[in-house]
Amino acid sequence: AGGEAAGPFAGLPLGVKDLENAAGFVTTKGSRLYRDNRVDFDDAHVARLKAAGAIIVGKTNTPEFGHIPFTDNELFGSTLNPWNLERTPGGSSGGSSAALASGMVPLATASDGGGSIRIPACYTGLYGLKPSQGRTPIAPRPMPTWLSISCYGPLTRSVRDAAIYLDVVAGPDPRDPESLPAPDISYAETLEEPLPKLRIAFNETLGVTTVQRDVLREVRAAAEAFADMGHDIVETDDTIPEMGGWWARVSAFQSLGQEWDNFSTRHDEFTRRYIRQLDRALEVGPSDFQEFLRRRGELVSWTAGLFEEYDLLLTPTLPTEAFAPAGPIPREIEGEQANAIAYTYPFNFTGHPAASVPAGLTDAGLPCGLQIVGPRHRDDLVLRASYAYEQARPFPALPREPFASV
């Protein structure tokens, strides 16, 4: 009204994940401990979305402290998948993915510390990008997140929406010493630039998990889209170094530090599931930290070597289709061991950008995803490859269209 240019999200309803802060709203973190935690400030990325014109209409559900790959807590119960109400939309950004896929909102925030953007994207037929570590600032921080694995990123109905989102939220914040300089390009404006011929690795299992047959069928067909575009696809069977239980132990230790006062005085208000995680932290010792650091170094070296030889890595996003809303997480497929987050968590530890694009539908009519991983700081390449894929294989129609769109 005052002659100011409207932002790219002018007037669009925005859902904010309930691990993130928005002034005037309660940030429960999915926990009874924080049921009355009304805040008077915005996290940096939320402030940037508001400055771009988005209007916050509410918070989206998350598991307690975002620590599991499905969305269920004792405050609000289970979030359901719009594709099938007897399945989970994933986690920990499952409230956002359900809101987007159901048409409730055209825009929602998400974060990823082990797959929490890509998992919900996969299970609900959306696009999800975990940016390079530091691309989007984490500010203000209550304490240093010394694992340096979590980031905010786009979970959207299209690749273009994600590129616009990243244009808005990317860039440094003086309160986050790990935040990267502002990108020197617009992700949205360069989205349609033709890709050079790429050398792309495709790895079905990373050597660490079994994959559901119909998921693998759809993922292989999706990967072939890049061959049809003229790129070189090389099937590899390399085994990725595992962080596994070492990550779980050290992550639990950090969680215990963040909630130590509450753990000591309000123990009964945590869920039993989360208490089990915190109890594990009490057993962590110096040797665990040393082994964690050694294994992380091996993983970083392995990934660096991969991208000396290839431009992109393709994998399934997840080894199974969506499971029941409150779990359990599948541990076996046809009698073989399965690791639910085998494909997603490694790239949080290496800092590489990684996206999930819809690959197709399983025999049960549920979405599955193809993961596209790029070199460090090449968010632009991952977005352009995702966009080219989207043009070649339009994403499946979602259960409902939103009443407003980006």
Active site residues: 17, 92, 116
Contact 106, 126 (CB under 8 A): no
Smallest Cα–Cα separation from 232: which of 221, 240, 224? 224
> Scanning the structure block, which residue is given the tokens 């390399």?
238
Question: What are the two backbone dihedrals, phi and then psi, of residue 156, each rounded to the nearest 5 degrees?
Answer: -140, 175
Contact 158, 395 (CB under 8 A): yes
How far lies 74's CA from each of 81, 115, 210, 326, 396, in Å? Answer: 18, 22, 32, 11, 33
127 beta partners: 156
The residue ranges of DSSP E strands in 207-309, in sequence order, are 232-236
312 beta partners: 200
The dihedral sign for the CA sequence 402, 322, 164, 395: negative
Smallest Cα–Cα separation from 296: which of 148, 135, 141, 145? 148
Smallest Cα–Cα separation from 386: which of 323, 339, 317? 317
Residues 165 and 122: their CA atoms lie apart, in Å, by: 19
Q: What is the DSSP code (8-state) at residue 81?
A: B
Smallest Cα–Cα separation from 91: which of 41, 155, 7, 139? 155
**Which amino acid is present at 309?**
E
Total Cβ atoms within 10 A of residue 32:
17
Contact 356, 118 (CB under 8 A): yes
> Scanning the structure block, which residue is given the tokens 């002018």?
10
Question: What are the two backbone dihedrals, phi and then psi, of residue 146, each rounded to the nearest 5 degrees?
Answer: -70, -15
- Can you spell out the DSSP letters for 334-395? TTEE--TTTTTTHHHHH---EEEEEEEE-TTS-EEEEEEE-STT-HHHHHHHHHHHHHHSPP
